[in-house]
């Protein structure tokens, strides 16, 4: 059984630019034959995302701020109209106020806490609920992106770590909900990768240096490596895996002192 996704369809949330992990996922899936709906968060990103998506055969481009329920509905309506149904959903979206990604976690404001959770964790549940009717009978797969800061204390990751913990727990509960329908949901826990969002985490460069020195593979990972794992998780090769956190981090998560 090859990793071909010919005739399959997917929707991707979280492409900001060519460095985005969502873009690497889109490339891997499209190279395997999947037809994609690529969404962008706001008008500022539209032109760049349209230019990128032009490289993907048969793709469509749609607006979606995941905090706006009507925009998620509109994405699902367009996907139903254009593709007929959905085999995969890629959720690679996160947001926290920049000033809350440094210093003491206890300074986190209630508003910043709620915002980080709304965008980075709750959106997976709402998108899953709204995608289900399109995935019915398809043995589909949902993939989200998380980080080690959701299970261990990583300096400056702060409220985003709490949101990732909620996201990872959501993966487990959603897996139990949708498994009986033959649908799967997993998270990829990626090592640090230089993207637009990562630039907002204070001390990011020293984190990359530390991992290159200490991870079992003695290097950092690439977005392409995450994209290929996403392809695996969307393919029938991973048909026995759901509710899991799959690490693509050069092995860093196994290390102690």
Q: Candidates 3-11, 62-70, 132-140, 173-181: pick the segment binding ligand NAP (CB under 6 A).
A: 62-70
Query: Is 113 a residue of the active site?
Result: no
Segment interacting with ligand NAP, rule: CB under 6 A, options 29-37, 52-60, 168-176, 189-197:
189-197
Sole binder of ligand NAP in the list 11, 12, 41, 175 (CB under 6 A):
41
CA–CA–CA angle 137, 189, 161 (5° rounding): 115
Would residue 243 be called left, alpha or beta, if left means φ above 0 and alpha means ψ between -120 and 50 degrees? left
| Residue whose token pair is 């329908």 | 181
Is position 198 an interface residue for ligand NAP (rule: CB under 6 A)?
yes
Selected range binding ligand NAP among 3-11, 26-34, 87-95, 210-218, rule: CB under 6 A:
87-95
Task: Give percent helix, percent strand, percent coil of the chain, each to the nearest 5.
Answer: 50, 15, 35
Say if residues 20 and 196 touch (Cβ distance below 8 Å).
yes
CB of 218 to ligand NAP, least distance (A): 18
Sheet with strand 88-91: strands edge to edge:
60-63, 35-40, 9-13, 88-91, 141-146, 184-190, 245-248
147 is catalytic: yes
Give the catalytic positions in this structure: 147, 157
Write out the residues near ligand NAP by the rule CB under 6 A. Answer: 13-16, 19-22, 41-42, 45, 64-67, 92-95, 119, 145-147, 190, 192-193, 195-198
């Amino acid at each position: 059984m090859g990793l071909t996704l010919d005739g399959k369809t997917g929707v991707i949330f979280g492409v900001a630019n060519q460095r985005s992990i969502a873009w690497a996922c889109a490339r891997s899936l499209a190279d395997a034959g999947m037809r994609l709906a690529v969404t962008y968060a706001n008008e500022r990103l539209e032109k760049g995302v349209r230019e990128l998506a032009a490289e993907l055969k048969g793709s469509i481009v749609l607006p979606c701020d995941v905090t706006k329920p009507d925009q998620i509905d509109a994405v699902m309506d367009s996907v139903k109209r254009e593709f007929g149904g959905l085999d995969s959903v890629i959720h690679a979206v996160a947001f926290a106020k920049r000033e809350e990604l440094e210093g003491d976690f206890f300074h986190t404001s209630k508003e910043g806490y709620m915002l980080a959770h709304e965008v980075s964790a709750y959106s997976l549940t709402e998108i899953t609920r709204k995608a289900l009717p399109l995935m019915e009978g398809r043995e589909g797969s949902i993939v989200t992106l998380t980080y080690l800061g959701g299970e261990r204390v990583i300096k400056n990751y702060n409220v985003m770590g709490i949101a990732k913990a909620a996201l990872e727990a959501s993966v487990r509960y959603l897996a139990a909900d949708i498994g009986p329908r033959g649908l799967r949901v997993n998270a990829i826990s990626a090592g640090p990768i230089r993207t637009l969002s990562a630039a907002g985490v204070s001390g990011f460069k020293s984190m990359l240096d530390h991992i290159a020195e200490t991870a079992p593979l003695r290097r950092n990972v690439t977005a392409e490596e995450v994209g290929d794992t996403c392809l695996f998780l969307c393919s029938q090769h991973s048909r026995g895996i759901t509710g899991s956190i799959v690490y693509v981090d050069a092995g860093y998560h196994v290390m102690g002192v």
